[in-house]
């Protein structure tokens, strides 16, 4: 995926996430909470990415008298799901940054990465990695114009049944160095789901004709999460 496109997508996803945070979603879940999602990303040049994401709250640590929480995302391709392995990022985030308009990227105290078949190591390229912003979009703050909670409800099916969700919609615009983009987003939010949202749909258009659709849908959620980087604590 081109760098500009990755940055563009990350920005729009971050903007969408802030709507739910501003309304009622709790972004600081209980320790051990996890939520798993199906991710589908399609662009009009034929590029498509199908992945599985699991977000986890996996412990706390006090740094400089600040209570911080370990937040982890495990990313899997269909092939790695069959193998039972994941590529993982683990961030230590001050607790106050997990609420409201906090920023888990800029405020991260520690960042670790474990590739599919490698060992965990400190990750120092956090702010220069647009793809990482994309992976952590539900926890990023942002700006959304014309943000509104609709009167309609949305039913979101997951493997244990159906959730009756509130719906947030909004429009986001951003000017990049080489592009100008417009994003339209729709989130189904539910307070029972760790990290706050059950599904998301984003349509992205930029000035040079690129069009993308990204959808995220809940598979399952629960408690007793286990870290893929157990020695990082």
pLDDT in tens, the chain (233 residues): 554 455 555 554 544 444 444 443 445 788 999 999 999 989 899 989 899 999 999 999 999 988 899 989 999 999 988 888 889 999 898 877 776 556 667 778 888 999 888 888 888 766 555 556 556 655 554 555 677 788 999 999 999 999 999 998 877 666 555 556 677 888 888 988 988 889 888 887 877 788 888 888 999 999 999 999 988 88
Strand (E) or helix (H) holding 66: strand 66-76
pLDDT for the residue numbered 19: 45
Which residues have CB under 8 Å from 64's CB, separation 6+?
Answer: none
pTM over 0.95: no
Beta pairing partners, 57 = 71
Quick one: 216 exposed, middle or buried, by C-beta within 10 A (0-12, 13-18, 19+)?
buried
pLDDT for the residue numbered 133: 59
Burial readout 157-170 (b: 16 or more C-beta within 10 A, e: otherwise): ebeeeebebbbbbb
CA 113 to chain centre: 16
pLDDT for the residue numbered 38: 94
pLDDT for the residue numbered 56: 92
pLDDT for the residue numbered 23: 45
Q: Please name which of 5, 74, 16 lies closest in space to residue 199, comparing C-alpha atoms.
A: 16
The whole-angstrom separation of Cα 46 and Cα 233 is 41
pLDDT for the residue numbered 15: 46
CATH architecture under which domain 3-222 falls = Beta Barrel (2.40)
The whole-angstrom separation of Cα 111 and Cα 121 is 9
Q: Torsion-angle region of residue 213: left (phi > 0), alpha (psi -120 to 50) or beta?
A: beta
Q: What is the DSSP string of 164-214?
A: EEEEEEEEEEEE-SS-EEEEEEEEEE-TTSTTSEEEEEEEEEETTS-EEEE
């Amino acid at each position: 995926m081109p760098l500009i496109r990755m940055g563009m997508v990350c920005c729009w996803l971050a903007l969408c996430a802030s709507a739910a945070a501003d309304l009622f979603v709790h972004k600081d879940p209980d320790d051990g909470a996890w939520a798993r999602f199906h991710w589908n990303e399609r662009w009009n040049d034929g590029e498509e990415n199908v992945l599985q994401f699991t977000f986890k709250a996996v412990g706390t640590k006090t740094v400089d008298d600040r209570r911080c929480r370990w937040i982890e995302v495990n990313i899997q391709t269909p092939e790695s799901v069959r193998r039972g392995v994941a590529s993982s990022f683990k961030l230590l985030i001050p607790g106050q940054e997990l609420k409201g308009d906090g920023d888990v990227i800029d405020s991260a105290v520690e960042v670790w990465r474990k590739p599919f078949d490698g060992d965990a190591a400190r990750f120092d390229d956090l702010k220069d990695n647009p793809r990482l912003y994309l992976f952590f979009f539900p926890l990023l703050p942002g700006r959304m114009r014309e943000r509104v909670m609709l009167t309609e409800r949305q039913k979101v099916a997951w493997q244990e049944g159906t959730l009756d969700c509130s719906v947030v919609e909004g429009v986001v615009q951003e000017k990049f160095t080489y592009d100008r983009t417009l994003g339209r987003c729709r989130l189904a939010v539910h307070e029972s789901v760790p990290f706050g949202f059950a599904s998301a749909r984003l349509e992205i258009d930029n000035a040079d004709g690129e069009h993308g659709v990204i959808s995220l849908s809940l598979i399952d959620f629960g408690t007793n999460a286990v870290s893929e980087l157990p020695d990082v604590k």
